Structure 1
Amino acid sequence: MELWAIWLIIAGILLVAEMLTLTFYLLWLGIGALVAAIVAWIIPEFFILHIFVGCITALILTFATKPLTSRIRMSKGFKDPIDELVGKEGVVVEEIDFGKHGIVKVGNETWSASSQVFLPKDETIIVVARGTTILEVQKREVIK
């Protein structure tokens, strides 16, 4: 298989993974792999050049767009959908032990979660805080 085709497959995988995560970091890596595919198609002999150009492209995109994404996140009216999970109820899908991560389902989505206490499977929880990709949860107290 041609090297440019391998780079193209890697770019496709990264771009699909980006659609699932919505972090923008995999997008820049995917575009870097796409640029590496183009360079590999034009100059197939220099594998190190493909890697170098792809990495430089991803780094430039990452650093050049950081101020733009920060400005968008700080703009008036911007709401991160993950912030809206705080206060919502969910259920433990995979038990959570203190100091370890488990999995919870909040709405229609599953998330990695941590807790200050052990939470067994099927326990009803409330999201109390969020990290980048991990929710902090606690047992929902039943009001009588």
Structure 2
Amino acid sequence: MDWLRDNLWATWLGLAALLSVAEMFSLDLVLIMLAVGALAGMTAALIGLGIPVQVLAAAAASVAMLALVRPSLAKRFHGGPELNLGHGKLVGQRAEVTAEITGLSTGRIKIGGEIWSASPYDEHLVIAPGETVEVLQIKGATAYVHPVARLDG
């Protein structure tokens, strides 16, 4: 019992190692935060503080890690990149008009090496071939576009 009291830091270190290994199986970033708390308890034991102070240090560090560090880490690790797949990736891109676009007749644009049918987002616009447009929306196989302003200098 004297050895345990004299080497309480080793108990804290063992607890931190055990929690770290358990975290590898759970992967929810809770046990690793508790392991950091155990390391704070170990530090308090190495300094020579009493057992109640060690427990308070471990608890305070664990709660602080769970409240301050875990949310941002969980968001970073569990969230993936925003992927635009299919025709959604064309929204916001620029295209070249290949056939006149009016509110009354569907025209054509070339975007991403493909020809798409296109209508003006504002049905009162007429967009001539050769103009650059921005894709604002895709409905079915039709791109709704708006002309991009030119700076003729």
TM-score interval (norm. to shorter): 0.3 to 0.5
Of structures 1 and 2, the larger Rg is shown by 2
TM-score (norm 2): 0.45
Scaled by the length of structure 1, the TM-score of the pair is 0.48
